Structure 1
Amino acid sequence: MHSFYFNGELPTINNVLTAVNDDDNLPNMSRSSLYRVLRELKFVKFKRQAHKIFTEKGGLIFWRRKYHELIRKYRRENRTIYYLDETWLNVDDVCSPPTVSANESIEIVLHISSEAGFVPGGLLFFKLTDNSYDKRNRNVMNGETFRFEKILPLLSDNCVIVMDNARYHSVKEEKLAKASWIKDEIRNWLSQKGLAYEDSMLKVELIQIVKMVKHYYDKFVIDEIAKQSDKIILRLPPYHCDLNPIEMAWSLIKECVKTHSTTSKLPDVEKLLHEGIDHATPEHWKNFVRHVVEEENKS
């Protein structure tokens, strides 16, 4: 979608459908399937010069531009940039939300890397079974299983850690008062913060006070942990995993696992995973990051 705009072309549904189906790396899709995918990715359709074309909602555009602005700033400051991401691992090399059978175990694999490669000691396994896999909520990792504090000492000082918006990355330090709360709950929240209000105020007036100060309290747990270690968290724009070079590393590693796998035992697959990680050389990583920078420069 972004390449159409970059090349000065209109991303109509027919143009995008042709581009997708002509790309050997993408599955063939029907018009209705493509339309559904674009809606899920938060693209919206509007009419321009008798053509119905797709564009992103304004909030996503702003987020992406802000991300590009910050990542370029950090590169100019010569900060080390790390990329953190997870993938799925089972005996069938499944990387999308898998189906768990009674006799099969699955693991979430999480790692962190920089242009120099994967960080030694940064690999994290989280084993799932049919009892622990939450089909309603794909993301079963949480603040306890995601041992972020153990990763930080492995990283350079004054670095930047790029990650997506998974729930376990986005746990808030505290709940913020909101309009769905009853008036007494909002008053209690304001009182705990030492903020003045009048008893005669309407609920909407109390919420206005909250809105004026909430940016002081709207904080993520891991962001604050990172700050204590002189590190910065930078979150990717939604639906932009293409800006994380570790995604290309996962593809390389999974292909290595699939090529050499001769057994259905998960410990053997884990061993191949470690070998695949070793197979991702610094030269690979330089190419991965170079590709991502090229994608950033298109926006």
Structure 2
Amino acid sequence: MPKTIKSQLRKVIYNINNYLSERRSEGIDSIPLNNITDLVVNMTGISQSSVMKIRREGQTSVVFSTPKKNKPKTKKKINLDDFDLCAIRHKLQEFYAVRKEVPSLKRLLAALKESINFVGGRESLRLLLHKLGYKFKKCRNQRIILMERYDIVAWRDRYLQEIKDVRKSGMPIVYLDESYIHTSLNQAKCWQSENEPGGSKSVAKGKRYVIVHCGGKTGLIPNALLIYNDKEKKKDFHDAINTVNFKKWVLDKLIPNLQEPTCIVMDNARYHSSQINKPLSMINRKKEITDWLSSNNIAYPTNATKSMLMVIVKQNKPDPIYEIDHLVQDYGHKIVRLPPYHYDLNPIEIIWGIVKGKVATKNVGLDNITFMQLVKNCFEDITADTWNNCCEHTKKIEEDYRQRGPVIDGEIEKFIINVGDDSETSNDTSSNESVISEIETQ
């Protein structure tokens, strides 16, 4: 018998049960009343509970239906852009620095619903906080508070000081980033009537184009824009960019347009962070590990196992040397890396929003070639004043971080108790390299 008893079979079973019941009531067959269900079970081969359930179903309705499977509920995906993620961080810091309150998950959720219309629940918010580098710590009264990972805080503090020193030195700064844009990008609403339907919103995503650009002291850098079609349609557009493509863009589009030694600011996407001195791992042969230790004058026991050797390697692991850093240094430039998930410290993130907004208003039934030209024109329309305003906005955010840092540090000291060795913090990373390895994309 099938696991699911369909409507037609259910009706047959119900009719058999009624037929036997009628013959019993008319005294035609000597069928005990309490044996009718057993007879139906023997005749149809289904369980007793199913027979009784179908009997009850027939008493309330003459129409039988096939039971539907209980499909598992799918979680609603919370789509937040880079600025929403930064807004979550700023709101959490506001609890410490401004409100002087412990930012519990419940209070933070209520504040975000009010400020950015956050539509997720507590679990969604908890996962986002973990993604942004926050963790839980005990405070004096044993309540749980949210704390940003110390290595990310240190990275941010280090970046803020470094970018401040660069500005003080007078060295020009260039911000770069990558994004994407779909050919179906358009406005969700427009003015329309029965006679004038207006624009249509595409159901399909259309072709996806990856865009790479940068901006300096006089605005977006001319001839640095790169747009190309992401033919493979990978889930994450960062997968469509690799170290080779990015290196080629730096050599062909970026460096030729830098007229003097420049500080290049970028995030920690993996194609930005390919290492020349890649660390050894357990996939290396034992001889490769011992040769590396010997070449670096690092002592090790002669009878050491591979696992013991890897512990020694980890204890003596050198600072990473990134291929792209080494490349630009040959041309007199330097690279400064943004702390993880700090999109608000890159003014070109604002430019993405401005350009996509302009494209959406003009993208009505354009073919791919015309669409690409539209995107280029929208970038060309970004004036030096617009870029400077974005940079000034970023400087204000930097100053907010600088001012809030010591305040938050002091407030946390009031909440935290010293519990000795903390197994949670001992597993945290403490260098740029280890954090980069945890971050798939920025």
- TM-score of the superposed pair, with normalisation by structure 2: 0.59
Say which SS state the counterpart of residue 175 (structure 2) adopts.
strand
Cα distance in 2 between the residues matched to 1:39 and 1:212: 29
Contact 2:347 2:391 in 1 (8 A): yes
Provide the residue aligned with 1:208 in structure 2. Answer: 312
Cα distance in 2 between the residues matched to 1:21 and 1:11: 14
Provide the residue aligned with 1:284 in structure 2. Answer: 386
Provide the residue aligned with 2:274 in structure 1. Answer: 171
Say which SS state the counterpart of residue 5 (structure 1) adopts.
helix
Is 1:259 equivalent to 2:350 in the alignment? no
Is 1:162 equivalent to 2:265 in the alignment? yes
Cα distance in 2 between the residues matched to 1:255 and 1:207: 52
**Equivalences for residues 162-201 of structure 1 within 5 A:** 162-178=265-281, 181-190=284-293, 193=295, 195=297, 197=299, 200=302
Query: Against the structure 1 CA distance between its residues 276 and 205, is the aligned structure 2 distance closer, same or farther, given a 3 Å change threshold?
Result: same
Residue 194 of structure 1, CA deviation = 6.1
Say which SS state the counterpart of residue 125 (structure 1) adopts.
strand
Contact 2:279 2:317 in 1 (8 A): no
Is 1:45 equivalent to 2:136 in the alignment? yes
Higher fraction of helix: 2
| 48-57 or 255-264, which deviates more | 48-57
Q: How many residues align?
A: 287
Say which SS state the counterpart of residue 242 (structure 2) adopts.
coil
Cα distance in 2 between the residues matched to 1:137 and 1:261: 21
Residue 105 of structure 1, CA deviation = 2.5
Query: Against the structure 1 CA distance between its residues 264 and 39, is the aligned structure 2 distance closer, same or farther, given a 3 Å change threshold?
Result: farther
Provide the residue aligned with 1:78 in structure 2. Answer: 170
Two-structure CA RMSD over aligned residues (Å): 2.6
Provide the residue aligned with 1:97 in structure 2. Answer: none
Provide the residue aligned with 1:140 in structure 2. Answer: 240
Say which SS state the counterpart of residue 144 (structure 2) adopts.
strand
Residue 3 of structure 1, CA deviation = 3.3
Query: Against the structure 1 CA distance between its residues 262 and 74, is the aligned structure 2 distance closer, same or farther, given a 3 Å change threshold?
Result: same
Query: Against the structure 1 CA distance between its residues 265 and 16, is the aligned structure 2 distance closer, same or farther, given a 3 Å change threshold?
Result: farther
Contact 1:20 1:29 in 2 (8 A): no
Residue 242 of structure 1, CA deviation = 0.9
Say which SS state the counterpart of residue 110 (structure 1) adopts.
strand
Say which SS state the counterpart of residue 364 (structure 2) adopts.
coil
Provide the residue aligned with 1:111 in structure 2. Answer: 213
Residue 41 of structure 1, CA deviation = 1.7
Structure 1 residue ranges, 4+ long, deviating more than 4 angstroms after superposition: 196-199
Residue 136 of structure 1, CA deviation = 7.0
Cα distance in 1 between the residues matched to 2:102 and 2:296: 53
Contact 1:60 1:237 in 2 (8 A): yes
Contact 1:197 1:206 in 2 (8 A): no
Residue 13 of structure 1, CA deviation = 1.7
Higher fraction of strand: 1
Residue 229 of structure 1, CA deviation = 0.7
Task: Supply the AA of the counterpart residue of 2:183.
Answer: V
Say which SS state the counterpart of residue 73 (structure 1) adopts.
helix
Cα distance in 1 between the residues matched to 2:217 and 2:119: 33
Deviation string, structure 1 residues 256-298 (Cα, Å, up to 9, x no partner): 0001111242322222212221222111112111111111112
Deviation string, structure 1 residues 153-172 (Cα, Å, up to 9, x no partner): 21142211110111110111
Cα distance in 2 between the residues matched to 1:183 and 1:75: 47
Query: Against the structure 1 CA distance between its residues 289 and 136, is the aligned structure 2 distance closer, same or farther, given a 3 Å change threshold?
Result: closer
Cα distance in 1 between the residues matched to 2:360 and 2:137: 43
Task: Supply the AA of the counterpart residue of 1:269.
Answer: F
**Equivalences for residues 1-150 of structure 1 within 5 A:** 1-7=92-98, 8-24=100-116, 26-50=117-141, 51-93=143-185, 104-129=206-231, 132-135=232-235, 138-146=238-246, 147=248, 148-150=250-252
Provide the residue aligned with 2:17 in structure 1. Answer: none
Query: Against the structure 1 CA distance between its residues 36 and 105, is the aligned structure 2 distance closer, same or farther, given a 3 Å change threshold?
Result: same
Task: Supply the AA of the counterpart residue of 1:168.
Answer: Y
Contact 1:126 1:145 in 2 (8 A): no
Contact 1:79 1:158 in 2 (8 A): yes
Say which SS state the counterpart of residue 298 (structure 1) adopts.
helix
- TM-score of the superposed pair, with normalisation by structure 1: 0.86
Cα distance in 1 between the residues matched to 2:386 and 2:237: 33
Residue 198 of structure 1, CA deviation = 6.2
Deviation string, structure 1 residues 193-215 (Cα, Å, up to 9, x no partner): 46465671625357536743623
Contact 1:13 1:31 in 2 (8 A): yes
Say which SS state the counterpart of residue 318 (structure 2) adopts.
helix
Task: Give percent identity, aligned residues only.
Answer: 27
Cα distance in 2 between the residues matched to 1:116 and 1:6: 35
